[in-house]
Amino acid sequence: MPYLIGGGFLVLIIGIYILFYTLNAKTPVPEGCEFPDDFSGCSSCSSTGCVSRIESKKVVK
């Protein structure tokens, strides 16, 4: 019986995670938080693998 309760709890947690993940993906980006067209002035970090830069390159192409 404890295995059923533990398994059910695990399925519930995974289901909640999937629900919130899909709801977050469908949420529109707030105004003013769009990706800039030009990152030449971006000096907030020195990361060459910046997710914002990578995502914008995918959108532009």
Question: For residue range 12-61, what is the model confidence (pLDDT) as tens digits?
Answer: 999 999 999 999 999 888 887 776 666 666 666 666 666 665 555 555 55
- The set of residues, in sequence order, having a beta carbon less than 8 Å from that of 15 and lying 6+ positions away, is none
Domain tally for the chain? Answer: 1
**Domain coverage including residue 7:** 2-60
Please calculate the CA angle 24-46-53 and round it to the nearest 5 degrees: 40
In this prediction the pTM is 0.54
Q: Are 49 and 43 in contact (CB under 8 A)?
A: no
Query: Residue 25 belongs to what H/E stretch?
Result: helix 2-26
Single out the residue of 39, 38, 61 nearest to residue 50, CA to CA: 39
